[in-house]
Copies of this chain bind each other. A is one copy, B any other.
Amino acid sequence: MNTIEKRIEELYAYQPYRTSPPDLDAFWERVKQLSSNESSFASRRSERETLFHGVNVYDVQYEGFEETTIHGLYMVPQLKSLDKTAPCLITFPGYTGGKGDPEDYAHLLLMGYAVFAVDVRGQGGDTGNRLPMEHGGVKGWITQNILDVERCYYKAIAVDALRAVTWLSEQLEIDSGRIGVIGGSQGGGLALITAAMHEQIRLCVADIPNMCHMDYGVMHSTGSLSEVADFCRRFPEHMVAVLRHLSYFDMLNLSDRLHVPLLMSVGLKDTVCLPEQIVPVYRSAASEIKRIEFYPFTGHAVEKAQRRIGMQFIHQYL
């Protein structure tokens, strides 16, 4: 057993404490109610010109949590037999990113999958954020309203993401029984959340996901959870409440709801989404088909080899 194998063995052996809030189920039941019915929120789509042959591209807008309009990019490959529908992947960006351009998803389109790429509110796409900020804070989005679990940013983006799945499942071009979710970092965290919470998701690829073992991340991560650390540093009187509110969104407390085929990956040098955060979530996921890839020398990045493995996993299970 070499040094790398030993490190992985220790990761599997690491047993974090769980800190589920008692009303966890009730909380998520309410969130799901907000998101499960397409008629509960407005939406529209409009076709966009494209340089791509054989692909239709649409700009999508739908109403997210509390009146913010969320922007998405919906791309559908033209199938040869007109009566067929396409399987579809929904995806969310990494922290600070946006839904991107059609060219970012060309490889999935060429595989025959429709793709729905959705902004995360306020971050680097076209989507603003109309959720009022009710107290002072730190740079970044994560700690917005973190003192009120019912109106905090994590809840808002969870509702936004679940509504995206609901919207997508109603589109005629796609096969609503073959929707998968894919993403890295924040996109991986939202992939896990939607896979756990939305019944239409049938496959999940979560690379180097955040939203896992979050108290560990608050202590150690150099990524978005460091904003939580900074918030608590500035307002130490709120630390207990903040950590409790995070626990509603911590996949460590939700992994028993993961049942779909699941692919995860982790970089052993990742200081943003640390292995100690990700591996316990993977271990406790209820999925029968699950697989994790370790990249011993990779930091917070998805290697090309992992992108390839993800494509094969989708090809096999969706």
Residues of A within 8 A of B (CB): 1-4, 6-7, 16-17, 19, 51-55, 77, 96, 98, 100-104, 106-107, 109-112, 119, 121-130, 132-141, 215-216, 218-220, 229-230, 232-234, 236-237, 239, 243, 268, 295-298, 303-305, 307-308, 311-312, 315
- Which chain B residue lies CB-closest to A77? B53
- Report chain B residues within 8 Å CB of A104: 304
A137 contact from B1, B55, B122, Cβ within 8 A: B122
Whole-angstrom distance between the Cβ of A220 and the nearest chain B Cβ: 8
Additional 15 contacts, C-beta under 8 A, given A3-B218, A104-B304, A232-B297: A2-B17, A6-B17, A51-B110, A52-B110, A100-B304, A103-B307, A123-B136, A124-B137, A124-B234, A127-B135, A128-B132, A219-B296, A219-B297, A229-B296, A237-B305
- Report chain B residues within 8 Å CB of A236: 295, 303, 305
**Are B53 and A110 interface neighbours, CB within 8 A?**
yes
- Report chain B residues within 8 Å CB of A128: 132-136
- Report chain B residues within 8 Å CB of A77: 53
